[in-house]
Amino acid sequence: MQDKMKFVVMGLAAILVISLFVNLQSMGSKQSLERERNNLRDANADLSDRVDKGMQENKRLQTKLDSLNKDMERVSREKEDLLSKYDAANKERDELINRIKERPAQQAAQAVEVSRMSVSSGSAGNDTYWGGILKAKTDLELQLDKLRTELKDIQIKNEQLLREKSSLDMDVTNLTRENQELKKQFDYNQKIMDSLTQELVREKNDKFVIQDNLKTVKRENDVLRRQLKSINGRKVNLEKRLAELQDKNNGLEAEMSKVQTFVQDKMIKIDNLQKQLEVG
């Protein structure tokens, strides 16, 4: 009887240990999954924020790149216009140089004509001759001065056009360099965006896997709870049986005590009878 009670007590202790182990394991798995889910949620939010910022930065760079392309087209048109003006100024300068070169020949021809006219008119036209010479010389000098002034203006204009052309060339070079840098930055940001997008997809896939694992753990927890409930029910039944066995044991011990008392009384009576028989 005592061995049976020990077996029952040991069974109850084993059930309690198993129940405690199952609860601890279930709680640990659930907490671990919840921590991992929270970490993934934070990482997902951070990645989404970085993707949004990257898209805004790419949009800003694209706008700036479009503006630079328009500026480059405008500068190219201005450069072509300046080149046309430069070519026209060079042509006008060459024409003026040719006209200046032709002036001495024209001046000599006019002097010969005036000399011929003065010879035909005689001494009476001497004053007129010299007056014509001076007038022709003065007119030619004025024309030459005017041509030189125009040539100087054209040269100044030409130099200004050259400076503007050089400035535009520098602007084109700077715009081209800035455009290339923006394209590099844009391509780099695009690569980062693609990488972040892929990482975000992986995070979402991991999140789905964790959610599936969490559902699996929840199902396992439900099964464990049912098993634990069944174990607790068996524990209660065993405790009831143990109490019943204890009551029976107490009853049996009481009956055994009564039987022992009865037997002892009978033995005493038998001993007394034997003594009386021996005396008689």
Q: In this predicted model, what pLDDT tens digit does every residue of 168-200 receive, in sequence order?
A: 677 667 777 776 777 777 777 777 777 777 776
pLDDT at residue 261 above 80? yes
pTM to 2 decimal places: 0.38
Residue 276 identity = Q
Most confident of 30-39, 53-62, 256-265: 256-265
For residue range 199-241, what is the model confidence (pLDDT) as tens digits? Answer: 767 777 777 776 777 777 778 777 777 877 777 777 777 778 7
The answer to whether 51 and 197 are in contact (CB under 8 A) is yes
Domains and CATH numbers, the chain: 2-279 (1.10.287.2610)
pLDDT at residue 118 above 50? no
User: What is the average pLDDT score of the chain?
Assistant: 68
Instruction: Give the dihedral sign, CA 98/101/103/105.
Output: negative
Residue 93 identity = R
The answer to whether 69 and 178 are in contact (CB under 8 A) is no
CA 173, CA 270: separation in Å to the nearest integer?
Answer: 138
CA 22, CA 25: separation in Å to the nearest integer?
Answer: 5
Q: What percent of the chain has pLDDT over 70?
A: 44
Q: Which two structure tokens, joined as six digits, stand for 232?
A: 């607790």
